[in-house]
Amino acid sequence: MLALFLIFLREGIEASMIVAILLAYLDSSGHRKYFKDIFLGVGAALVLAFGLGAAAYFFIGNYDGSRFQTIFETATYVLAVLLLTYMTFWMAKHARSLSSELRKKADDALGSSERFGLAGLAFQAVGREGLETVVFSLAIVFAMKDRSGEILGAGLGLAVSMVIAAAIYKFGKRINTKVLFGAVGWLLLLFASGLLSDAIENLQQLGWFPFFRETLWNTSGYLLESSAFGDVIHSFFGYAQQPTLGQVLGQVIFLVVTFGVIVRRSQRRTSLITTKLTNDGKDLETVNHI
């Protein structure tokens, strides 16, 4: 439940934030009549995402316990890891400029002769987040042993994201979305490492990665993956009661590399800001001296 809550919270915030920014801009520029176009695009995107997700879930259910299901799950894990990693770094880079970019696209759509330009913009933005959510949700569902709380977790995450989106629409720049996405991004990278561990386990079972298959420890006597708490930390952190060397190495390397990149980017950004402030100060001193 916790993993799905976080996924729907993160994706729901991004999608609804985009919609909120577009609506706020149309409202402030006197174009409220185009609200219906935004809602049309959002509705179409949600129908597409939900339809594809439901179709994929019920289709793979027909192959329960088969080799095909294992292959499909593995592909979903790998795709989810790639998307989670990419979107975390992308949002860290573009969160500050997202609002201005959306306003420019809205102006382009309003200035064009295309009737559904704004609907297409909303469809593209929300549809992308919706399809990502489908991939992540399928990956989580496949990784979970107990699926009883999946709908509750998804519903709570979506509800909280709607509240945040309403606040963004009302208060605009007062909410620091960059900090919000940064905090959630760290947690999602940790979650991605767990999915990578599941992918490696499946690859080893399929015989496609016959390396580092030695079992490092066995904690089944203390915490079973099938237990309530074990299922939670397995779906969120990739906990395995009998992990192989490959699973542990995969998680450790992934976390060291991704967290290292985040820290390095943060240090570089701080260094650039410090350098700019220093140079601005020197320029000001030169002007005063003259």
DSSP letters of 23-89? HHHHHHTT-GGGHHHHHHHHHHHHHHHHHHHHHHHHHHHTTTTSHHHHHHHHHHHHHHHHHHHHHHH
Question: Which value, to the nearest 10 degrees, does the dihedral of the CA atoms of residues 163, 168, 170, 176 take?
Answer: 120
78: closest CA among 182, 178, 193, 181?
A: 193
**Higher pLDDT pick, 140 / 213:** 213
Q: Span 79-83, mean pLDDT? A: 88
What pLDDT is stored for residue 290 in this prediction? 47
pLDDT at 262: 81
Residue 110: how many CA atoms within 13 Å on its side-chain side?
17
Residue type, 205: Q
Extract the tokens encoding 132: 């990502």
Average pLDDT over residues 86-101: 71
Q: Quickly count: other Cβ atoms within 10 Å of residue 148's Cβ.
A: 10
| Alpha-carbon span 88 to 265, nearest angstrom | 13
Q: Which helix H or strand E contains 110, and what residues bound it?
A: helix 98-111
Res. 281: pLDDT tops 60: no
- The 10s digit of each residue's pLDDT in 204-237 is 999 999 999 999 999 988 898 878 778 778 766 7
Higher pLDDT, 100 or 206: 206
Provide the 8-state DSSP code for 221.
T
* 227: helix, strand or coil: coil
Task: Kindly report the number of other CB atoms within 10 A of residue 180's CB atom.
Answer: 18
For residue 194, pLDDT beyond 80: yes
Tell whether the model's pLDDT for residue 80 goes beyond 70.
yes
Identify the top-confidence range among 31-45, 136-150, 174-188: 31-45
d(CA 122, CA 35): 11
In 3D space, the residue among 12, 237, 196, 189 whose CA is nearest the CA of residue 86 turns out to be 189
Instruction: Specify the pLDDT at position 287.
Output: 42
What tokens appear for 108 in the block? Answer: 């382009």
In this prediction, residue 289 has a pLDDT band, given cuts at 50, 70 and 90, of very low
Residues 102-123 have pLDDT tens digits of 778 787 777 665 556 778 888 8
**Beta carbons within 10 angstroms of residue 230's beta carbon:** 20
- Looking at residue 86, what is its pLDDT? 83
pLDDT bin (cut points 50, 70, 90) of residue 67 is: confident
